[in-house]
Structure 1
Amino acid sequence: MQNIKDIKTFVTNNPSEIKEIINRENYQVIIVCSYYDFLKTLRQLGYRGKIIYELQGAGVNVEKFLEPGVQTVKTYADAILIPQTTHLIQVIQKFLPDKKVFSFHNCFDFRTFKYQEVETPPRPIIGWVGRLEQNKNWRDFIKISSLLKNHIPNLDIWMFEDASLAQKSERRQFQNLIQKLGISSSLTIRSNIPHEQMPFYYSSIGKSGGFLLSTSKSEGFGYAVVEAMSCRCPVLTTDSDGVKAFVIDNKTGKFFNHSHINQAVSKGLELILIKEQREQIIQNAWQQINTICDPIQYFNNFEQMLLSITDKTAG
């Protein structure tokens, strides 16, 4: 909620209020993100316009997530929207081969979300953005950070999360692991940082000589990776599918294989210690997201989708 500014936004799960909003706003198209049960609800509330079902953020078990809702999507959605991410494309082809599909990269406002001039932090920083849950794979992040500290003893570790989303059992396991590995004194955890403040933190991580570490098992897109790249913060990431559109190994970032902790440590040290390669990666990364995530291209794709679904033409 703290990130919504200057956009007409309604927050409710009350069916009568939703129906009132739909009738008042007279939407021609509604996009339902991930929560497929709401497709049926919209029709039951009397909505007769077009519905697009957008699938993102389902994590590594996307088939398990979508399968119970396949019939609902078939019945109530007019089309599907997904990013150009291989595993999402394959899942849609498997479960919903006859549905009209729109697939294009998400946009990113690199003109405003960008590098800020910051003071150089006194110590190198490793950053991580996510939730304390299985798909974001915080355990590997903690293990990798702990081993990196053996090589760089003054390393700082920054984690950005939404504390309200972590299950109590997951939080306990997290606390136990950081105590066991002895990194509590080097760890700073920030919860629910407003999005507009994140360029400062990404810029600081990059300026420190550190990097963003992404340990996700699967990503539909990987916004944190793009955000870091836009702020001159190099990225070390698992090959989590969605990020392959903009991370090219040793050119715009670095990849390591899932659960290969020692490989991640080695590549992390390269990002910190090989200065010339690091600077080239930073420059290449910025160029890559400017090309892939251009908001103007996204606007054109989105407009064509709306025109197609409503059988209209531009102009």
Structure 2
Amino acid sequence: MKILYFYKFCVLGGVTTQLANRLKFLRHHSEVHFAFLEDYGGASAFEGYEHVRILGTVEEIKSYIAAYNFDVIISIDTYELYEALGPVEEGKVIIHEVHTTYSEPLQKLAHSKDSLPFHYVITPSAYMKGYLHSIGIVGAFHINNCLDTDLFQYEADTEQRPATILWVGKLDDHKNWSSYLNIAGKLNARMPELQFMLVGGYTAPDEIKNQLMVKVEQQGIKHFKWIPKVDYDEMQSYYSSVAQSGGIYVSTTINESFGMTVLEAMACRCPVVVPSVGALPELLDGPLNVSLYESGNEAECVDRLITLLERNALREDLKSLGEQKARTTYSIEQVGREYMELLERCKEERLISNKC
């Protein structure tokens, strides 16, 4: 089977990382290609894999599709692909994958679903499947994102560090970094020796970066470290370090279609405290749901954090439960099999449909 993935931005993190994870399974079962409209240095995630292209025009996309005669073509939240497809040949499978939670592309999908030539929709969580149904896109398939559990695993070291509260993400309104600093300020007032670390924000405008540092000062946060950029294959050392310190990963996101950084932390035995939004309750079901707080309720978040910081036995239980779930349900092997089976089923259905 020949598969083409098409996504707008070739940037490290997010969708690009997920595609690189899938490749580690799919390359043993199919010929996989990746095409992007714009290059932001994300190709390194594919570790020199030969079938990664930047196709910036409709004509380039058309030529590439014609050259390789793909069986399955998958657009991830990207509509420029459809301009190049034209009439879909019999037997080919066109899939639209939805990873975004932003309203503009989702409304565009809802309004154009009957005119676009895709046959199936895939999304990474039950939450997103339900949301798509609510806007008129029925029958979407839910396949989890996968995690490289060889990369993301706990690494102990001998250095002892003060307990650290870690936040990871872009400095944008959606990730709600400002709320993290509000929470850090409240925690700092009650537990002055706590350390706070924010990872991310390298691409943020200078104005936002300045706002970040001003707010740290306004909140009176004593021990704060900002690391704007970390290579993806180094993130496990940060999660592991926080876990070993007795600290916690915290999220303040407005919405999530999945929650990869939460899963990464769990795989590295780092306990988490996250808002009960989007797909995050799916990652933290059963006993793990003590880590959830009401979205926007900073006081509840602070209480959850303090409870975990002070209750060592509970924190250790959550570390073990989180690691176990991350390493089984979301492994590349487990999710890869499910994903490949779905693609094969879709291809078979299209062949049968064309014969009828």
- What's the TM-score, normalizing by structure 1? 0.87
1:82 aligns with 2:120: no
CA distance in 2, matches of 1:292, 1:244: 15
Distance 1:297 1:122, change over 3 A: closer
Partner of 2:59: 16
Partner of 1:105: 144
Partner of 1:131: 170
Partner of 2:36: none
- Identify the match of residue 178 of structure 1 among 216, 220, 231: 216
The amino acid across from 1:221 in the alignment is F
The amino acid across from 1:73 in the alignment is K
Name the SS for the 2:53 alignment partner: coil
Q: Deviations over 1:94-133 (max 9, x none)?
A: 33445x5221222222233211122344221111111111
Partner of 2:108: 68
CA distance in 2, matches of 1:182, 1:198: 27
1:94 aligns with 2:134: yes
**Is the 1:118–1:200 Cα contact (8 Å) retained in structure 2?**
no
CA distance in 2, matches of 1:112, 1:30: 29
- Identify the match of residue 33 of structure 1 among 76, 98, 102: 76
**Is the 1:83–1:104 Cα contact (8 Å) retained in structure 2?**
yes
Summarize the alignment of residues 148-159 of structure 1 with structure 2, pairs less than 5 Å apart.
148-159=187-198
Give the superposition deviation at 1:162.
3.9
Specify every segment of 5 or more residues in structure 1 that has no aligned partner in the other structure, as ranges: none
Give the superposition deviation at 1:280.
0.8
CA distance in 1, matches of 2:73, 2:317: 42
CA distance in 2, matches of 1:138, 1:29: 38
Name the SS for the 2:113 alignment partner: helix
Partner of 2:10: none
Percent sequence identity over matched residues? Answer: 22
CA distance in 1, matches of 2:184, 2:321: 25
Distance 1:4 1:283, change over 3 A: same
Report which stretch shifted further, 213-222 or 116-125. 116-125
- Identify the match of residue 196 of structure 1 among 233, 253, 261: 233
CA distance in 2, matches of 1:16, 1:89: 33
Summarize the alignment of residues 113-262 of structure 1 with structure 2, pairs less than 5 Å apart.
113-164=152-203, 166-167=204-205, 169-183=207-221, 186-248=223-285, 251=288, 254-262=291-299
Give the superposition deviation at 1:174.
2.8
Q: How many residues align?
A: 304
Partner of 2:18: none
CA distance in 2, matches of 1:187, 1:90: 39
CA distance in 1, matches of 2:76, 2:225: 32
Specify every segment of 5 or more residues in structure 2 that has no aligned partner in the other structure, as ranges: 1-41, 351-356
Name the SS for the 2:122 alignment partner: strand
**Is the 2:146–2:332 Cα contact (8 Å) retained in structure 1?**
yes
CA distance in 2, matches of 1:114, 1:162: 24
- What's the TM-score, normalizing by structure 2? 0.78
CA distance in 2, matches of 1:72, 1:308: 25
Distance 1:94 1:261, change over 3 A: closer
CA distance in 2, matches of 1:72, 1:104: 23
**Is the 1:120–1:207 Cα contact (8 Å) retained in structure 2?**
no
The amino acid across from 1:112 in the alignment is L
Give the superposition deviation at 1:309.
2.0
